[in-house]
């Protein structure tokens, strides 16, 4: 008689999983590991569908940041917008800023987009919900890889040559994805209930971009300087750009602090996500 692996048994009780944190943490890690293959298949499916019916294909990853860059170069060059001095040529400064910001935005939007797109599957199938989040991270990494390759080529063409600090640059990119995923996952349960979140988020993020050193350099004084300094995205984006463009790194301490807080936030919102999903699925199925 052939031995067979016993099927996993799941016991559902009315008791909250918060009553046993150790068991909940073990279940979270188990579901995260079990979700890898499904997440990969979902990511491949979504990436293929994303570019299958476009004439320009992967170039869309570059077109939007490039259009934003050209717009700000035009506004700055014509004097319509006054931009302060930057350590880098302004074209390099704004192009690297918009590309890194695009990576952050991909990570931020992924949790809500993936969960919203899977509403029908969530209502009918029982699978690790973490697969949706991991799938979004896979897609963000794929698009980030294309952006980084194009960005490095553009920097060499513009005469900016990275040095050994480029080895730290992937850490900065992962930090952008970490912070974006944590914030996106925080918004996902509310965004599943109220579409206002998805509609209003671009407006909020547009303002946040203007108080982050994406297209404007760090102000030296005034209210704007305070907003830039208090913005947790400032050390992440500035440090990542400095590593890429061989500039002195001045915000390494705040960079590490923000990453530590982002890890804690991600763990907390992961718990909230797991607790909220059964309620959200029940409401969607009603």
pLDDT at position 84 over 70: no
- Tokens linked to 274: 């797991």
- Counts for the chain of helices (H) and strands (E), in that order: 11, 0
For residue range 44-78, list pLDDT tens digits in order.
888 777 766 665 556 666 677 777 777 777 777 77
Predicted local distance difference test score (pLDDT) of residue 162: 85
Give the pLDDT mean for 137-149: 90
For residue range 90-132, list pLDDT tens digits in order.
888 888 999 999 999 999 999 998 888 888 787 777 788 888 9
Residue 268 and residue 185 in contact, taking contact as beta carbons nearer than 8 Å: no
In order, the DSSP letters of 133-185 are HHHHHHHHHHHHHHHHHHHHHHHHHTT----GGGGGHHHHHHHHHHHHHHHHH
Provide the CA 194 distance to its chain's centre, in angstroms.
Answer: 21
Rounded distance between C-alpha atoms, residue 123 and residue 131, angstroms: 15
Rounded distance between C-alpha atoms, residue 286 and residue 279, angstroms: 11
For the entire predicted model, the pTM comes to 0.87
Angstrom distances, CA of residue 31 to CA of 20, 133, 236: 17, 12, 30
Predicted local distance difference test score (pLDDT) of residue 234: 93
Out of 14-28, 91-105, 142-156, 227-241, pick the least confident.
14-28
Question: Angle at the Cα of 109 (from 238 to 76), degrees rounded to 5?
Answer: 45
Residue 247 and residue 241 in contact, taking contact as beta carbons nearer than 8 Å: yes
What separation, in Å, do the N-terminal and C-terminal C-alpha atoms of the chain show? 46
Angstrom distances, CA of residue 76 to CA of 46, 70, 101, 274, 280: 38, 10, 19, 46, 47
- Residue with more model confidence, 178 or 87: 178
Tokens 């390759």 appear where? Answer: 149
Predicted local distance difference test score (pLDDT) of residue 224: 80
For residue range 215-267, list pLDDT tens digits in order.
888 888 888 888 888 999 999 999 999 999 989 898 999 999 999 999 999 99
- Tokens linked to 185: 């996952």
Rounded distance between C-alpha atoms, residue 2 and residue 180, angstroms: 48
Rounded distance between C-alpha atoms, residue 228 and residue 77, angstroms: 24
Predicted local distance difference test score (pLDDT) of residue 7: 55
């Amino acid at each position: 008689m052939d031995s067979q692996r016993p099927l996993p048994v799941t016991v559902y009780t009315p008791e909250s999983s918060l009553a046993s944190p150790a068991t909940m943490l073990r279940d979270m890690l188990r579901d995260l590991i079990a979700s890898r293959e499904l997440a990969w298949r979902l990511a491949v499916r979504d990436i293929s569908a994303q570019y299958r019916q476009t004439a320009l294909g992967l170039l869309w990853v570059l077109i939007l940041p490039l259009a934003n860059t050209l717009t700000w170069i035009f506004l700055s060059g014509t004097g319509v917008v006054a931009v302060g001095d930057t350590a880098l040529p302004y074209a390099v400064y704004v192009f690297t800023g918009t590309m890194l910001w695009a990576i952050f935005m991909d990570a931020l939007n992924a949790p809500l987009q993936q969960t919203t797109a899977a509403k029908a599957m969530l209502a009918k199938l029982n699978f690790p919900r973490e697969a949706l989040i991991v799938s979004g991270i896979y897609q963000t990494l794929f698009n980030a890889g294309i952006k980084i390759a194009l960005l490095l080529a553009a920097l060499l063409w513009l005469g900016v040559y990275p040095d050994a600090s480029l080895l730290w640059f992937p850490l900065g990119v992962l930090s952008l994805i970490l912070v974006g995923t944590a914030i996106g996952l925080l918004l996902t349960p509310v965004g599943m209930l109220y579409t206002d979140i998805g509609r209003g988020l671009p407006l909020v993020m547009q303002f946040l971009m203007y108080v982050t050193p994406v297209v404007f350099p760090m102000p030296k004084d005034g209210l704007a300087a305070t907003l830039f300094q208090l913005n947790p995205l400032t050390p992440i984006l500035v440090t990542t750009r400095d590593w890429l463009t061989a500039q002195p790194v001045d915000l390494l301490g705040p960079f590490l602090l923000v990453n530590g807080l982002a890890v804690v936030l991600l763990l907390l919102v992961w718990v909230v996500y797991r607790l909220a999903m059964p309620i959200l699925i029940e409401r969607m199925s009603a």
